[in-house]
Amino acid sequence: MSRPVHFEIHAADPMRARRFYEGLFGWTFTPLDFMNYSLIKTGEPGAPGIDGGLFTRIGPNPDAAAPTPVIAYVCTIEVEDLDGDIARTLDLGGSIAVAKAAIPGVGWLAYCKDTEANIFGMMQRDPAAA
């Protein structure tokens, strides 16, 4: 069975996106010497999850305030405090794409946009969610 092993965030302003994700999730970024590309470390080796990359978007940046069609896979990040992370998303310049909702028996899910209008999900596990 094939599994995702890497993700990419495309950004009109990679440094702005970097500050957003450093501030929200504490991810670390390592710039490469070519392609204006940075590797993203999301956790420690051996922990569940995958690492990714940050790249300069090719083409115009979508309007972060307008509805944005999803034309890529959406990554969902497991968080411990969804309400706090939604508030921090807004403080860091992001926005809410789909409000917090219960996934019965699983937890709470919200979709947000980063500073580059990329949609991402955040999930707080809670088997009592209804």
Taking residue 117's Cβ as centre, other Cβ atoms within 10 Å add up to 19
pLDDT score for 44: 94
Domains of the chain: total: 1
Given a cut of 50, the residues of the chain with pLDDT beneath it are none
Q: What is the CATH number of the domain that holds 41?
A: 3.10.180.10
112 contacts 120 by C-beta, under 8 angstroms: yes
Beta strands in the chain (DSSP E): 6-11, 28-31, 37-41, 51-56, 76-78, 95-103, 107-113, 119-125
**1 found inside a domain:** no
Range of the domain at 48: 6-125
**74 found inside a domain:** yes
pLDDT score for 104: 95
| Cα atoms found within 13 Å of the Cα of residue 23, Cβ hemisphere only | 17
